[in-house]
């Protein structure tokens, strides 16, 4: 996921807006050709091209162009699309830059899940709370004001995306909104800009009675996780069962880290996820292929529960559907982040800014799109208790 980074040093210096307009034109063509989820996004590509070429051509200063680029990318209302640079005014990324998951339900802005131990949780926000206003503007009016402008058909997912981005806010501003709880009581919420939790260690290890617990600390892109995971398995060799907690993996990762971990739970080379590149003339599942993991080290045979929620993202989602498809774990929790596909990076030719967007579609082995898959043991986010997902896992493993 992007962090606050300087603009590329090699970027061509802007003398007028022509270079920025060229970048938008180039990116529109690239995404029209390669964005794997374009049919579902209802984006009028030629209107998008016209509107944002004009907007980009009217600015020159890099930060002003970044604002145009971010609005351009938001037209696709896909949380797995991002610019690889940002500034203090940039919107936070979802899910890695937020502690709230919300959606529009029956014309209302509803909080569906709150990140445990976050500032939002400490403020008493709960699943089921309705957002009345955001920044002093009625919630649905705010959504309408910031929704994509270049769609050829109404798309409810665009409203959900917009609501989540508004509640996530920007890197430099407090989040101000009003909520109404189940009793009808309203209260004002004033939250700081979200700062993701940080851990020096790639994982957290502990035992809960006779059960071993491993929590991945947003490190699925860190090669050090593999060695740490192997050591954790040695430390937990006498545990009666294991829990793999993937609820802090919002930034995703890569297969070079995830597959060696999967390999500890299998004894033969096995497929764990279907991949489909929807190029010209290709159809699913005829032209899909199966990504495989190889066995590695002593095979772990202990019963395994995998925990997921809205902050299980990308490669974390891939591991969850993989272990389920391999029939090697019971997956327990809520819906995951639902991040679409596998991304590729492109570099805008004039500004030098990188952009990532999905170019391959991903599926469970049963052909369910990864972004639509739900855990077999589903836990309602509104379930009372300190950690109902963990409690359910412990109950299942203890029999």
Residue 94 lies in a domain: no
Range of the domain at 270: 203-398
Residue 394 lies in a domain: yes
Whether residues 179 and 233 share a domain: the answer is no
Let me know whether 263 and 300 are in one domain. yes
Residue 266 falls inside a structural domain:
yes
Q: What pLDDT sits at residue 198?
A: 87
With respect to residue 95, please indicate whether it lies within any of the assigned structural domains: no
Pair (35, 183) in one structural domain? no
Q: How far apart are CA 98 and CA 210, in angstroms?
A: 34
Query: Which token pair is 352?
Result: 């030098």
Residues 219, 313 within the same domain: yes
The pLDDT, as a whole number, for residue 7 is: 53
Low-confidence ranges of the chain (pLDDT < 70): 1-15
The confidence score (pLDDT) of residue 3 equals 42
- DSSP codes, 192-256: PPP-----SSSEEEEEETTEEEEEE-S-BT-THHHHHHHHHHHHTTT-SEEEEE-TTBTT-B-HH
Alpha-carbon torsion (219, 255, 82, 93), positive or negative: negative
Closest CA relative to residue 111, chosen from 92, 97, 132, 126:
126
Please report whether residue 162 resides in a domain.
yes
Residue 88 lies in a domain: no
Record the tokens describing residue 41, joined without a space. 């996004």
Residue 11 covered by a domain:
no
Q: Is residue 2 part of a domain?
A: no
Quote the pLDDT of residue 16.
Answer: 73
Structure tokens at 92: 């936070």
Rounded to 10 deg, the angle between the 139-146 and 156-168 helix axes is 110
Q: Are residues 262 and 367 in the same domain?
A: yes
Which CATH number is 273's domain given? 3.90.226.10
Closest CA to 97 of 75, 77, 76, 119: 119
> Which of these three, 52, 83, 114, is where a domain ends?
83
> 163, 191, 219: which is the final residue of a domain?
191
Residues 198, 195: Cα–Cα separation, whole Å: 9
User: For the chain, percent helix, then strand, then coil, each to nearest 5?
Assistant: 30, 25, 45
CB contact at 8 A, 17 and 59: yes
For residues 261 and 202, give the distance between their C-alpha atoms in angstroms, rounded to a whole number: 13
Q: Which residue has the tokens 């700062």?
A: 195
Tell which of 36, 54, 83 closes a domain: 83
Same-domain status, 61 and 123 = no
CA angle, 219 then 121 then 386, to 5°? 80
Give Cα 71 to chain centroid, integer Å.
19
């Amino acid at each position: 996921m992007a962090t606050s980074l300087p603009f590329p040093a090699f970027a061509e210096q802007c003398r007028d807006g022509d270079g920025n307009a060229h970048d938008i034109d180039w990116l529109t063509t690239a995404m029209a050709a390669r964005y794997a989820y374009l049919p579902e996004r209802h984006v009028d590509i030629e209107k998008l091209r016209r509107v944002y070429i004009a907007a980009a051509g009217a600015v020159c200063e890099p930060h002003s162009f970044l604002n145009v680029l971010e609005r351009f990318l938001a037209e696709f209302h896909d949380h797995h699309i991002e610019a690889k640079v940002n500034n203090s005014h940039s919107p936070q990324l979802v899910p890695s830059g937020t502690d709230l998951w919300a959606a529009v339900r029956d014309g209302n802005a509803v909080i569906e899940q709150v990140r445990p131990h976050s500032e939002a949780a400490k403020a008493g926000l709960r699943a089921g709370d309705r957002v009345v206003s955001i920044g002093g503007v009625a919630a649905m009016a705010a959504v309408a004001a910031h929704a994509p402008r270049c769609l050829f058909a109404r798309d409810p997912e665009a409203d959900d995306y917009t609501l989540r981005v508004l509640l996530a806010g920007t890197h430099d501003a407090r989040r101000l909104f009003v909520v109404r709880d189940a009793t009808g009581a309203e209260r004002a919420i004033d939250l700081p800009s979200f700062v993701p939790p940080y851990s020096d260690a790639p994982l957290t290890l502990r035992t809960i009675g006779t059960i071993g617990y491993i929590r991945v600390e947003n490190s699925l892109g860190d090669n050090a996780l593999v060695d740490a995971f192997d050591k954790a398995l040695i430390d937990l060799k006498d545990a009666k069962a294991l829990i793999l907690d993937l609820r802090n993996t919002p930034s995703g990762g890569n297969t070079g880290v995830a597959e060696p971990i999967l390999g500890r739970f299998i004894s033969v080379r096995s497929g764990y996820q279907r991949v489909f590149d929807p190029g010209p003339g290709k159809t699913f599942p005829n032209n899909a292929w199966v990504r495989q993991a190889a066995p590695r080290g002593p095979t772990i045979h202990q019963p395994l529960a995998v925990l997921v929620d809205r902050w299980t993202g990308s490669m974390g989602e891939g591991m969850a559907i993989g272990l389920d498809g391999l029939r090697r774990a019971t997956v327990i929790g809520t819906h995951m982040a639902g991040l679409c596909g596998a991304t590729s990076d492109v570099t805008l030719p004039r500004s030098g800014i990188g952009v990532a967007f999905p170019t391959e579609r991903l599926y469970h082995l049963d052909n369910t799109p990864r972004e639509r898959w739900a855990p077999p043991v589903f836990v309602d986010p509104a379930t009372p208790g300190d950690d109902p997902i963990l409690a359910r896992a412990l109950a299942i493993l203890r029999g």
